Amino acid sequence: VRTSKRGRGSSPNEELGKKIGKMWDAGSTQLEIADALEVSTSAVRFHLQKVGIPNDQQHKSRPLVRGKRACVQCKASKELNLYPSPRHAICTACIHKNLEEKKH
């Protein structure tokens, strides 16, 4: 579903998006952000998408096991340096694959 928004400039929505982005960068989960900013998790998801974090990267990541984490997508246990950032739930390889698939 696409909603067209009128108007430009800094809207309250935009401000919220920035806050969400910052919290995400700082390592908060969707739920934590939603609680802190008193918005719904779907709003958080929406804003994260807007700041360039696709839905498929917004999963809560799997726990670390002996320095490794299972990728949510390919399920392989990989070291953290194989992820774009330590908080990513999906490994770099999967993200690249996803991007490639979107191009076609």
> In angstroms, what is the minimal distance from the CB of 55 to Zn ion?
16
- d(CA 9, CA 73) in angstroms, rounded, equals 37
Residues 52-91, mask of contacts with Zn ion (x by CB under 5 A): -------------------x-xx----------------x
CB atoms within 10 A of CB 49: 14
> In angstroms, what is the minimal distance from the CB of 88 to Zn ion?
10
30 contacts: CB under 8 Å, gap ≥ 6 = 41, 44, 45, 48, 58, 60
Is the Cβ of residue 31 or residue 74 nearer to Zn ion in the bound state?
A: 74
Residues that bind Zn ion (CB under 5 A): 71, 73-74, 91, 94
